[in-house]
Amino acid sequence: MPENKINKPVILYKRHIAKAITWRVFSFITTFVLVLLIFHKEENATDIASGIAIGEFFLKLLLYLVHERIWYHINFDFDIVSRVRHLAKSVTWRIVGSFTTFGLALFLTKNHPEMASMATKVVVAELFVKLLVYYWHERIWYHLKYGVMHKKQ
C-alpha cells in the first residue's frame, strides 16, 4: 500500500454536498452582483443577473460535486495538504466555471447586440473575483472537519 494512502481520511458524501451548497451560495451572490454591475445600464439588468445566477446555481451544483469527487481521488498526502493543492483546485474549477458562465451568458443575452462582448465581460470579472473567493472557500473547508473520518490503524 502506498505510504500516502495510509493517512488519507475517508471523505463522506455529505461533506462534498455541504461544500457544494456553500460554494453555490457564495457564487450565486457574486455572480448576481457582478452581472448586475456589468449590465446596470440595461433595462432588464435584474432579469439577466437573476437568470445567469439561477442557471449557474443548478448547473454548477452538479458540476461542482463531480469536481470535488475527482479531486478527492487525486492522490495527495492529506497530512501536508498545501495551499498549492487549493490553488490547483481553484484554477481547475475556475476553468469549468468560466466556460459554463460564458455559455449561460451567451444564451441569456442572445438578443443583445453585443452579447459576446457582454458575456466576455462577465467571465473576465468572475475569473478574478471568484478565483479569490473559491480559494478562501477551500481554505475554510480545509479547517472544518465536517464529513471527515480518519481510519484507525
pLDDT at 54: 93
> Are the CB atoms for 105 and 123 separated by under 8 Å?
yes
pLDDT in tens, 69-93: 898 888 655 545 677 888 888 889 8
Domain assignment of residue 78, given as a range: 3-149
Residue 9 per-residue DSSP state: P
CA–CA distance, 135 with 137 (Å, rounded to integer)? 5
SS3 148: strand
Give how many domains the chain has, as a whole number: 1
pLDDT in tens, 101-112: 999 888 888 887
Closest C-alpha among 114, 108, 106 to residue 46: 108
What are the helix (H) ranges across the chain? 3-6, 13-38, 45-73, 83-108, 115-143
**Mean pLDDT by groups of 10 residues along the chain of 153 residues:** 59 88 91 92 90 91 88 67 79 90 87 85 90 89 89 67
**pTM, to two decimals:** 0.75
